[in-house]
Structure formats: C-alpha cells, structure tokens
Chain A
C-alpha cells in the first residue's frame, strides 16, 4: 500500500506541487525567523566574547534599576577606585569604561543616527589592553579637544582624521578634533550604534560628572584565576563605595543576554508572525487536501471496488500527506534561509545593522521546521482522508463536486461559543491576564469566525457578487455562482485574507485610538507655543542646562522640561515622569484628579489615579523610591492624576546633586508677549536645535509628530502582515487552479457554446475578487469587533474613544480587490488553455 500511495502521489505532479507550495509557504516563515534569531544571537555571542577578550574582571556600581527591555540603568563608579584596583595583586592593567549619551552632529548640521534607531553613545578610548576599542587609523585622543569615532560612524558622517566634529552630550555641545578611528572588537560598530570616544577625564566631565565612569575594566597578569582576581578586587574595595566585581566571563555572558532580551521584543514579534503565517498556511494545506480528496473520489471508489479496505484508502492518503509534508517542509526550510537573509537586509536598510558573519543554522531549526511542517500537513489531511475512505465503491461519479455545509445549527452554536470565549479571553487579557490568555482569546475569536464562515460565505458571496452580475451579465452571474457554490471552500480560501485583514484592522483601530489619546493628552497638558524634543527612548535627550538656558532667554516667557528615568517604587521598576513644578505652571499641566501639581515639592510624588487606587495611596501617603544612583528616598504623595502613559511624576529637584545625568525629553516653551515668532524661534534654535540638540517644532507640529510615532510601529506591523497576505494570494491561486481543473468540463462546455477566452478569464477573475472581498469584509468586521473589545476594556486606563479607521478600511477593500485580480491571473490563463474537445469528451 505504501508503494502504491507513493506511486499515486508522484503520478499527480501538479497536485503534489500545489500541496507542497502551501506547506513551503507555511514553514518558510517559521524556519526563516528561527534562523534569523539564531544568527543574531550567535553573532552577538561571538562579538562580545571577542570584545571582552582582554577583560578578566569588571568593576561597577552595585545599584541598578531594570527597565522594560532587559536593559538596566546603573549608578556611576568613582574613578578613584581605579587606584585601588591597580594595587590589587594580580592586576596588570585597568581602565575606566563609559557608555553615556552623546550625539555626533553631521557635516550637514543634523545629528547622525536614525530617529528611533539604535542608541548614540559616548565612551572612553584607551591604550590599555583592557580597553574595548582597537585603533584602526590615527591615534588615541588626549585632552579636552580630541576625540575618536567608531569606523562606521566616521564613514556615515564622511569624517576623516583631522576634521572638526561637533558632539552634544550632558554638558552641552562642543567641538573636537578627530584624531583617530576605532573598531569595536573586530567590527566597525555594534548594531548600528554611534560612538564618540574621548580620554577618560574628558569623557567623565563631558558625558557624566568629573571623577566618575560607568565601570572599570581590569586585566589580570595571569597569576590567579579570574574568579580569584574578582574576589580579591571586591575585598580591596571599600564596602561603602557600593561596588561589585564580575569576572570577564560573567560580564560577557550578561551583556550577551541583555542584547538578547533587548532583541527579544523584536524576535517575539517575528515569532508571532511566523505562527500567523503557519496558521494561515494550515488553511491553505487543509483546503488543498479537501479539494483534491473530493476530486479523486473516483480513484478512491475504484480502489474500494477492486478490494481496498477503507483503512487502506485512508492510509494511502495519509502516506501521501506524509510524503508531501516532509518534502514541503524541507523546501520550506531552504526558502526560510533566503527569507532570513531578506530580513537581515531589511533591518540593515532600516539602520539596525546586524553584524552577521554568515548564517547560523542549528540542527534544531531544521528538525523543528520539518517536524512542525509534517505534523500540520498530516493533521490537515486526517479529515479529508477519512472522508475519502468512506466513499462507496459504487459512488456515483459526480460531474462536479458541490459540497454541503452540513449541520448549520451545530456550526452556528459552536462558532458563537468559540467567539464568545475568545472575546472573554481578549477582555481579560487587556485587563492584565497573561499573553497566553491573549493568544487564546485571539485564537478563540478567529476560530469562532472561521467555524461560522461557511454559514455566511454563500449569502455574502451572493451579496458581494450582485453588482458584478449587473456589470458583467451572465459571465458575472456565473462568477458569483462559482464563488457561492462551495461555501466551505470559499470560506477556507478566504480565511487567510480574513486573518490578515482582521489583524490589520484591529491594529489600525488600536493605533488610531492611541493616536487620538496622545493628541488629547499632549493637547490638554501642553499650553505653550513651541516644543523642543528628542526621540531618545529615555536614554539621553536635552540636557537640563539647555532647558534652563532657554527659560532665561529674554524672548521666552516661560520654558519647562519633562524627562523620564527609571526608578524603583516599592518592588516595581517604572519609568517616572520628571518635571520642574516651578516652571511648569500654566505651560505643562498634568491632569490632576486630586491635589495641585504646583504643590509638588522635592520630597513629594504624584501618582496616577488607578495606580493610587491599586496601591491604596492617597494624598499624604508615604512611599519609598529608589533612584538609579542607589539613593532611597521617602516621598509623600501630593496628588493624583489621570494618564494612559505615566504612573508617577516627581520634581526635578529630587535629582539635584545626584550623579545621574538628567535630561529632558521635551521642553515646552511660551514666547514673550510682543516678540515676533521668527525672532523667538531663532533665539531658541541658536542654543538648541542649531547645535544638534532636539527638534524645535510649533505646538501643532509637535502634537502631530508625537502622534505620528505610532505610525512607525504600525508600519512594521503592516510590513509583516503584508507577508501573510502573500500567503493569502498564493492560497487563492491554488484553490482557483484546483477549481478550474475540477470544472474542466464545465469550462469546455461554456467554450463550446460560445464563451470567449476573455469571458472565461473574466469569470475566473471575478470569482477570485468575490472570494477575496469576502475575506476582507469579514476580516474588517472581525477586526472592528476585536478593536472595540480591546479599546472599550482600556477605557478606564485612559483610552477615550474607539476610532473607526475609515480610510484604512477603504484601502483594505481596494487592496483585497487587487489581491483578487492578481491571484486570478494565472488560474484564468490556465482555464482558457483547456482543450475543448478533451474537456467535453464523453466519459
């Protein structure tokens, strides 16, 4: 039987090819993202092992605060510790290290590095063997006027040794002479970040505070092990300095895992989409098996007639599924390699340079892809194979398969139950349940819709096809009938479109709501004329000294800055809002629920209303807040406010005298009465944006650009969903080809009685368009349902409105139309190539 099944599956090459294609599509995303993730991880492992090869021990502050993306902010290390470390027996060299905020300003006056891109660093270049940088050309910087650049930044800015380079950092904007170019380990720059390098005293003073660095890199003389060296150093350091010592291996491992966590957001995202692709691929695979099983009914009946048992017929189909499953998954894996390369290329184009030296292909990736691919193929084939086995040996040979929906009532009940459970999952996920619940919720809602699909695919196809019948007469009428004739097939074919469109719609709805929320929040808080801002993800920004400078300009009435820093409140790490209550009054208004924002003092804190209720805080309550530099302060709640974006707010004065460099993310400005706009603008720009510090925008421009940041995230989501639409297109192509093949005689008859080739093409094309539109329309409906559920349950988190993305929806429908037309091209051409005689020849 196995040999027979093998023979039969090989005999039907086109069926085999189409089934394989579906599997390849489903699995290539899985293997592509796996290979890509493996490659990134192993590249960074190699990179940091190389960079830290001279480092045997690493001394740093023991106080730190973890932030959202696996990164942690740490207090500074006094350079005075360097003396102590150098005197520890077994230490041969030690040097300060730094990763502070510094922006290199290009020759065109614009800061280098992409907005929302990788961070911009300032660091220490040293001759020590323990240093991380290796001079590539020129020499190391010495003194307050010299600097080095990493090689890729020098290249990007077209800087050569001898040029004057402007850099802005915590202490303002300065000019330096470029004396050298360096490599990080053996690569030009890690992950597209920019590096401005100075000698230690200059770096400390310019980036942080004189006398402080971020860490001390130590090289041993080899007389003791790294562990012994680390404990010897720890023992030598005074305990009140709050310093800790790691071995070289530990810091390498920690840095690598930090990068992994930082990229984790991205890789999780990729994984989610590869699962979507896999799920969508499942539909295509299941559809192909269902259709081909119906088409080979006669073959199965013949096998039964000549003595094959039900089980043998079923087994032969399962064997075929196994064969194509393995074959398709292997090919899927291979195309995944290409896909991972495409992903790297895409990221490089976006400025997130991943230093890949060849691909990392783990055997696990191959095994996982083949196992998953084969498994879903075999599972997809189970039902059709059982159905094939059940065929009667005397099965009447039907001219054209017309499937029935089966029990409508069962379907409706099951669909509604699944949908309701899914919606429940969504609501509870939004209200804080785990991501698994969210996933299950999405799955439930989708399953509900897909179970209901065949129930409404016929009436919907008839409805959507009605105008086409008007436009195209009998050809349109037949297209409409063809789209409606197999409700299950139509709904399965449309499923990939439905899934993609539903996700796009709900994300777009969510994004529109988020945008309007951002607009409302900023609009009501910000009362000034201008805003100076940076997109710095809470790393670096506008030095507070610049904010003060602007405030003192005669042409400026008032200027106040707002920044963010991580802090530990009780046990949780949060970014807290930092503002200046003295200058904020009337210019930056926090929407207070209780208390006054002006009542905020150095020892006070404002708490978001829901957070306050959750933690049982009210005016007068006291909470412990630990800052980056390790200080723990007891703050008194002075008021509560409403916000979807911040939980806590403190006064800038809290950080006076702290070693933590304080930056503002945005500075809000009101110009003095009677001063012409342009004059004020020029005066502000002269001390800020002209020096590469921040972007100066009018109130409206600022609100637009803040809301617009959501679009960047949305664009990424769209891009990846676009890939799932490609699968949808291929799914439609495969189904249409199979349908055209199945209706060979029908098309032959139509041609015989006078249907022209172009009419045949029109008929296939409109069937495709109706199917695709069916997917899009139901997808939009589902997307709106999910969007409403999510937004409504976010209302008490501050989200105010559900915004229906009308333009987006129109684009989606136009897109679905185009998808339908494109998907039909090849099958329509196949349909017209049918030879009339063989199509109508009596059987």
Chain B
C-alpha cells in the first residue's frame, strides 16, 4: 500500500484515490461499496480494474471520474482534488480532462457520428485540435460514416465513435466501463486494439473496468477489487494468468 503512494510521488500520476470509502444506506442496511481504497493510475498507462460483481469496481471508477462522490477519502485527477470542486467545476473537469466509454448507450441519437465525437469540445465552445481529431478519426477508420446517426451504425461502429469521442479532447484520463460488454467478439477485439493503440501510439491514459480476463490482458496492469477493497494487482497480464488469479481470488 505504502509503495503505491510512494510511486505516485515519483512517477507522473493521472489519477489517484486515497482512503476512498463509499457507503450506501445506514444501520443494518449499510453497504460498503468502497472500503478505504487507495490506488494510483499512472499517466500513459493502460490499467484495468477487475473483480466479481458487487466488488465495487464500477463505484470506484465513477468516484474517480467525478460522476459520484465519496463518503470519505479523496480522489484526484492530475493534481485536482475532486472533493474541492462544485458541480460546475466538476462538469468542466469531466468535459476537459476525462474521457468516457460506457458499455452501451454512448451516443446522442440526434447527433451524427462527427458531432458525437466533438460533443465535449462543442459543449465547452472549443474547436479542439483539428490535426489531433483527424488523427483520432483515422485511428478508428470511420471516415465514410461521420455524417451518419448512431441508429445507422452497427454496435461496433457506435463503440468506435465513443472511443473517438473519449480521445477527441486529449483528456488527462479515459475511463472505459465494460466497453466491449455489448459487442460480438470480433468488434470487441477491434475496440480493445483501438484502446491499446491509443495508449501505445497516442500516449493516452486509460482505466478500464471489466470482468473479462481476455479484455483485461490488453492492459499494462490490473487492479483487483473484492468486497470494496483492493485485493491485489498484476502487471504484464495474460488471459491465463488472470484466470488463474481470479480462481485464487475466489477461494
């Protein structure tokens, strides 16, 4: 635990949580979704959060991403303490420094693919870096579909647009919540490769929540969660190693 904190001080940190707790309900109904979690996500790295259902992985992501608030503890994006921000500042932070890819319903049905990609920029009234956006669109190779509405795109194409949107504003960190959960394996692999390329080739930082060992194996590092606590971590994962670890975790 202390080594994680120490690392954070030395290397460049994109986001971190310190003694983060999230409690729902009270008394007998009390549920500790997060129980004193401290974790650090390095800049330029692809991290995965794994754990069984109800382990708190989604809650952790939501809290670090500024979508939900902690009961106690602190979370930081870069050097910004999220608990110090009001709703407006938090919204601005999400718009400029955080990218999101959800499992489904990622796109606004009334906007076309391009408008969806630049949505966070448009909301901020900024044109964005044109060369970068072009590069991102090249990466997802959806040139011929940019003026299509989401309903005219396949599930895989929709997720690619979502990836491009997350990248478009060059955020500090991108959170992906089961990004391949609703896709067939071919499209899923495609998306995972895009994410990998975004980290390796474009220098982005990604944190992905998943329960699939194959997906997780695309990451540089995996943080395991169980019962709202950090249960361990793994670097250089392979599907076999992850599966093995999960079996061990289940015992």
Given contacts A473-B125, A836-B67, A842-B103, contact A754 B95 (CB under 8 A): yes
Q: Contact between A754 and B125 (Cβ–Cβ < 8 Å)?
A: no
Q: Whole-angstrom distance from the CB of A137 to the nearest CB of chain B? A: 71
Q: Is the CB of B91 within 8 A of A751?
A: yes
Residues 627-644 of chain A, each 1 if its beta carbon lies under 8 Å from chain B, else 0: 000000000000000000
B87 CB–A CB distance under 8 Å: yes
Give per-residue flags for A585-600: 1 if the beta carbon is below 8 A from chain B beta carbons, else 0. 0000000000000000
Interchain nearest-CB distance for B139 vs A (Å): 19
How many A-B residue pairs have C-beta atoms within 8 angstroms? Tell me: 82
Task: Establish whether residues A473 and B108, one from each chain, have CB atoms under 8 Å apart when the complex forms.
Answer: no
Q: Which of A411-427 contact B (CB under 8 A)?
A: none
Whether A481 contacts B94 by the Cβ 8 Å rule is: no
Chain B residues positioned under 8 Å from A8 (CB to CB): none
How far apart sit A107 and B95, CA to CA, in the bound complex (Å)?
74
B181 interface residue (CB < 8 Å to A): yes
Which residues of chain A have C-beta atoms less than 8 A from B92's C-beta?
A: 754, 756
Tell me whether B178 is interfacial, beta carbon within 8 Å: yes
Q: Bound complex: CA of A347 vs CA of B27, how far in Å? A: 61
- Contact count band on A: 20 to 34
Among listed A428-436, A742-750, A782-790, A792-800, interface-contacting one? A742-750
Q: Which residue of B lies closest to A747 (CB)?
A: B108
Instruction: Tell me if B67 and A474 are in contact (CB < 8 A).
Output: no
Query: What 1/0 mask marks residues of chain B from 98 to 131 whose CB sits below 8 Å from any chain A CB?
Result: 0010111111111100010001101111000000
Residues of chain B within 8 A of A485, CB atoms compared: 109-110
Question: Is B43 an interface position by the 8 A CB rule?
Answer: no
Q: Is B32 an interface residue, CB under 8 A from the partner?
A: no
| B145 surroundings in chain A (CB, below 8 A) | none
Can you list, as one digit per residue, whether each of A388-404 has a CB less than 8 Å from chain B (1) or not (0)? 00000000000110100
Instruction: Say whether A755 contacts B123, CB under 8 Å.
Output: yes
Distance in Å: Cβ of B183 to nearest Cβ of chain A: 13
Is A474 a contact partner of B62 (Cβ separation < 8 A)? no
Give B166's nearest chain A residue, CB to CB: A753
* Binary contact readout B144-182 vs A (1 if CB under 8 angstroms, 0 otherwise): 000000010000000000000100000000000110010
Do A478 and B110 touch (CB < 8 A)? Answer: yes
Is A706 in contact with chain B by the CB < 8 A criterion?
no
Q: Is the CB of A481 within 8 A of B100?
A: no
B36 within 8 A of A: no
Interface centre among A481, A751, A756, A837 (most CB of B within 10 A): A756
Q: Is the CB of B62 within 8 A of A754?
A: no
Q: Is the CB of B109 within 8 A of A757?
A: no
Kindly provide the distance from the CB of B162 to the nearest chain A CB, expressed in whole angstroms.
Answer: 10
* B102 CB contact (under 8 Å) in A473, A477, A749: A749
B123 near A757: Cβ-Cβ < 8 Å: no
A757 (CB) vs chain B CBs: closest residue: B87
CA of A402 to CA of B108, assembled, Å: 13
User: Which residues from A are CB-within-8-Å of B100?
Assistant: 752-753
Contact: B110 with A753, CB < 8 Å? no
Residue of A nearest to B118 (CB): A474
Whole-angstrom distance between the Cβ of A436 and the nearest chain B Cβ: 45
Query: Which residues in B have their C-beta under 8 angstroms from that of A837?
Result: 62, 67-68
Is the C-beta of A726 less than 8 angstroms from some C-beta in chain B? Answer: no
Tell me if B96 is interfacial: C-beta within 8 Å of chain A: yes
Contact A752 B109 (CB under 8 A): no
When the two chains form their complex, are residues A840 and B115 in contact, meaning their CB atoms are under 8 A apart? no
Report if B88 contacts A (CB, 8 A).
Answer: yes
For residue B105, which residues in chain A have a CB less than 8 angstroms away from its CB?
Answer: 399, 745-746, 749, 840
Q: Given the known inter-chain contacts A753-B119, A753-B165, A836-B67, please indicate yes or no for A478 contacting B108, CB distance below 8 A.
A: yes
Identify 19 new A-B residue pairs, CB closer than 8 A, beyond the known A746-B105, A842-B102. A402-B109, A473-B122, A473-B125, A481-B110, A485-B110, A746-B109, A749-B107, A753-B100, A753-B119, A753-B120, A753-B165, A754-B94, A755-B91, A756-B87, A756-B88, A756-B92, A836-B68, A840-B105, A842-B104
23 of the cross-chain contacts (CB-CB < 8 Å) are: A474-B115, A474-B119, A477-B115, A478-B110, A478-B111, A485-B109, A485-B110, A749-B107, A750-B108, A750-B119, A752-B102, A753-B119, A753-B165, A754-B95, A755-B91, A756-B91, A756-B123, A757-B91, A837-B62, A837-B67, A840-B67, A842-B181, A843-B104
Give the 8 A-B CB pairs with smallest separation, nearest first. A754-B95, A481-B110, A474-B122, A754-B120, A756-B91, A842-B103, A753-B120, A754-B94
A interface residues (Cβ-Cβ under 8 A, vs B): 399-400, 402, 473-475, 477-478, 481-482, 485, 745-746, 749-757, 759, 836-837, 840, 842-843
